[in-house]
Amino acid sequence: MLIYDKADKQIGEIVFDATFICAFEENGNIKVVYVVFDWEDENNAGTVYADTYSKNGKLLERKDITKKAENIDEYGVFSRCYPNSNGYFFVFSDSTGEKVLAYDKDWNYVDELSFNFQSRVSFVGNCGLIKDNRYIDVEYISRFNIGDIEIVPKVLKPEKINISKAKVSGIKNKTYTGKALKQSLTLTYNGKKLTLNTDYTVSYSSNKNVGTAKIKIKGIGKYTGTVTKTFKITKAANTIKVSTKTKAVKASKLKKAKVLVKKAITVKSNKGSVTYKKVSGSKYLTINKKGVITVKKGKYKKGIYKLKVTITAKGNSNYKKKSITKKVNIKIK
């Protein structure tokens, strides 16, 4: 194979004993793809090489691509080859039409496009599809014609994957905390774990108060579509705290009238209104719903009079009802 410059001056020569497939320029060098056959072995399918030469014919690199490109010679007569930034396109002809085979830069077979001689096609679809949904960039390939068929190369855009059937795991019901609640969820598509804010985003609504919270998972990047999930927010335990204090009442006052005792019971951090109810204790002691203890009028011996009281915090839309039972001592002196 002789190499000429633009002025038709020979600047190099490449000599090899093989079946020529194609040659093209790439990065200022010449790429030659060819097959070497062992003619004495009729079962030998040949060895496919991809050589890189300088423009003066010096061999720079030789790759055995037989296993990766074993289907290069399966489709009839080779017509042409087009390199691009991510791989190579080979065009072959047979009796039915033509095929365009796509390979990546490492000579891994990627995909193919077939058409007949009565078709008018554009160079689109999955022909440039590489593994992991990357696409061969064909924007540098010129428009060309094959008979009445026009191949119009276009920049191929990945067909986005819809995540509507993706598997969502890790969603659990939550207990109210007073803050917006989120999930440590995992999104998996066809066994592959997707990455938050690279493959999808997550947004929430109604995720603070007790009820049903909504999760919206939206595909981004090479993914599209949405997945909607829900989780329950349940009521939290009431935070009511109760303490009691012994209160003293003079017996001399009780001879004249009943005595009201306040602040014998202290309630803090309650959620919802609080009520009080006597469970047991001295018949001389009562308590109203507001927690005020009444010591009845009468003659008393000095000593401790006891009262057992149940204090109940009603709760609200976010906190449960809770009751605590305490003993209260009233000292008659």
Q: Is residue 325 in some structural domain?
A: yes
pLDDT at residue 36 tops 90 = no
Q: Is the same domain home to 23 and 108? A: yes
Among the residue ranges 92-96, 158-162, 282-286, the one predicted with the least confidence is 92-96
Q: Is the same domain home to 33 and 108? A: yes
Q: Is the same domain home to 123 and 222? A: no
pLDDT at residue 111 tops 60 = yes
Residues 260 and 294: beta-carbon distance below 8 Å: yes
Task: Specify the pLDDT at position 62.
Answer: 85
Task: Specify the pLDDT at position 133.
Answer: 31
The average confidence (pLDDT) of the chain is: 78
Q: Which of 176, 203, 234 is the last residue of a domain?
A: 234
Q: Is the same domain home to 55 and 145? A: yes
Among the residue ranges 132-136, 271-275, 295-299, 315-319, the one predicted with the least confidence is 132-136
Q: Which of 125, 151, 177 is the last residue of a domain?
A: 151
Phi-psi region of 70 (alpha: psi -120 to 50; beta: other; left: phi over 0): alpha
b or e along 238-258 (b: 16 or more beta carbons within 10 Å of the residue's beta carbon)?
bebebebeebebeeeebeeee
Domain of residue 294 covers 241-332
Reduced to 3 states (helix: H, G, I; strand: E, B; else coil), residue 235 is: coil
Domain count, the chain: 3
Q: Is the same domain home to 25 and 127? A: yes
Q: How many CB atoms lie within 10 A of CB 315?
A: 19
What is the mean predicted confidence (pLDDT) over 132-152? 34
Q: Are strands 322-332 and 247-249 parallel, antiparallel or unpaired?
A: parallel
Give residue 234's identity as a one-letter amino acid code.
T
Global confidence as pTM: 0.53
Q: Is the same domain home to 22 and 84? A: yes
Task: Specify the pLDDT at position 131.
Answer: 29
d(CA 330, CA 333): 10
251-261 pLDDT, tens digit each: 999 999 999 99
Q: Is the same domain home to 16 and 140? A: yes
**C-alpha closest to that of 18 among 50, 53, 43:** 50
Give residue 288's identity as a one-letter amino acid code.
N
**Which residues contact residue 247 at a Cβ distance below 8 angstroms, ignoring those fewer than 6 apart?**
261, 263, 264, 293, 329, 330, 331
Q: Is residue 156 in some structural domain?
A: no
d(CA 125, CA 158): 9
Q: Is residue 274 in some structural domain?
A: yes
**Which residues contact residue 120 at a Cβ distance below 8 angstroms, ignoring those fewer than 6 apart?**
148, 149, 150
pLDDT at residue 113 tops 80 = no
d(CA 35, CA 87): 19
Q: Is residue 283 in some structural domain?
A: yes
The total number of residues shown for the chain amounts to: 333
Q: Which of 217, 234, 251 is the last residue of a domain?
A: 234
Q: Is the same domain home to 145 and 37? A: yes
Q: Is residue 85 in some structural domain?
A: yes
CATH code, domain with 266: 2.60.40.60
d(CA 314, CA 149): 81
Alpha-carbon dihedral of residues 96, 97, 99, 100, nearest 10 degrees? Answer: 180
Q: Is the same domain home to 220 and 280? A: no
Q: Is the same domain home to 179 and 220? A: yes
Instruction: Kindly report the backbone phi and psi dihedral angles of residue 164, in degrees, each rounded to the nearest multiple of 5, phi listed first.
Output: -60, -25
